[in-house]
Amino acid sequence: MTLTKKLGAEFLGTFWLVLGGCGSAVLAAGFPDLGIGFIGVAFAFGLTVLTMAFAIGHISGCHLNPAVSIGLWSGGRFPAKELGPYIAAQVMGGIVGAAVLYIIASGQAGFDVSAGFASNGYAEHSPGGYSLTAALVTEIVMTFMFLMIILGATDNRAPQGFAPIAIGLGLTLIHLISIPVTNTSVNPARSTAVAIFQGDWALSQLWLFWLAPIVGAILAGLVYKWFEKEEEI
């Protein structure tokens, strides 16, 4: 598969993740009486990854997330030379997804992007008022576990054909745990896409949602390498 096709798949997949996941939060989560709430948003994010893993996993690997690409590189599963192009395609796809969401959401009278636009935050911008330290630990640990799930489910020793289900449900669980803390990132592209449109506090806090997922992903790659290493007899 050519790099151009891989990047196109990553662009499309990240577009869908942001439109589907953040779109569920912006358009459907708080709808009076019929809103899907935290549980619905968690499943929406999981379903975007599950559906795209089946749709484009065989083309690009369906990373949809700079932290995933970096974690796979750290674990020896992804070439360093493709990291930059993959991350660029993911961020661009996410921004386009957020742009489409902005156009749809702004069609409702009273729409106010300053309310958050599904952005990630800590302290006064955390859904539950959690501190910077709590947010940092949450994002590192949740991304670490997400990469452990990805690396394990895609290991050639694992049952074949079920990886998208495990990864999608893993992301759902991560959201169920951490939406109250940070609104759940574990994905710098997803965070960047909506922060650009929120444009205020989300941009000033964006550093954490690059740093923490990358740290968690690198640690997971190194740990899983240890699991993969054959014991000397």
Instruction: Answer whether residue 32 shows pLDDT above 80.
Output: no
Number of neighbouring beta carbons within 10 Å of residue 58: 11
Across residues 160-185, what is the average pLDDT?
Answer: 96
| Section 146-165 average pLDDT | 93
Q: What stretches of the chain show up as alpha helix (H) in DSSP?
A: 3-17, 23, 37-60, 66-74, 83-105, 132-153, 163-182, 188-198, 201-204, 208-228
**How many Cβ atoms are within 10 Å of 233's Cβ, its own excluded?**
3
Tokens standing for residue 204:
């000033």
Tokens 């449900």 found at: 169
Under DSSP, the state recorded for 129 is -
Residue 161 has a pLDDT of 87
- Does 86 map to a domain? yes
Report CA 44 to chain centroid distance, whole Å. Answer: 12
Distance CA 24, CA 30 (A): 9
232 domain residue, yes or no: no
Distance CA 212, CA 174 (A): 15
Confidence (pTM): 0.94
CA distances from 226 to 75, 217, 222 (A): 9, 15, 7
Establish if 80 belongs to a structural domain: yes
Task: Find out whether 4 and 58 touch, Cβ atoms under 8 Å.
Answer: no
Cβ neighbourhood burial of 108 (10 Å; 0-12, 13-18, 19+): exposed
Res. 231: pLDDT tops 70: no
Distance CA 121, CA 116 (A): 9
208 lies in a domain? yes
- 200, part of any domain: yes
> What mean pLDDT comes out for the span 53-79?
97
Mean pLDDT of the chain: 94
Does 113 reside within a domain?
A: yes
More confident residue, 32 or 232: 32
Q: What is the rounded CA–CA span in Å between residue 90 and residue 88?
A: 5
Q: Are 61 and 29 in contact (CB under 8 A)?
A: no
- Does any domain span residue 125? yes
Task: Give the domain range for residue 47.
Answer: 3-227
**Considering the chain, what percentage of its residues have pLDDT values greater than 70?**
98
> Mean pLDDT throughout 178-191?
97
Which pLDDT belongs to residue 191? 98
pLDDT range class, residue 200, cuts 50, 70, 90: confident
φ, ψ dihedrals at 63, nearest 5°: -80, -55
pLDDT tens digits for range 74-101? 999 999 999 999 999 999 999 999 999 9
Residue 233 has pLDDT above 70, yes or no: no
Residue 118: name the closest of 40, 33, 49, 61 by CA: 40
* 115 vs 85: which has the higher pLDDT: 85
Q: Per-residue confidence at 47, pLDDT binned at 50, 70, 90?
A: very high
Q: How many domains does the chain contain in total?
A: 1
CATH code of residue 185: 1.20.1080.10
Whether 70 shows a pLDDT value over 90: the answer reads yes
**What mean pLDDT is predicted for residues 26-47?**
88
State residue 27 phi and psi, 5-degree precision. Answer: -95, -30
- 72: amino acid identity, one letter: L
With 60 as the cut, is the pLDDT of residue 232 above it? no
The residue length of the chain stands at 233
d(CA 146, CA 45): 13
**48 within some domain:** yes
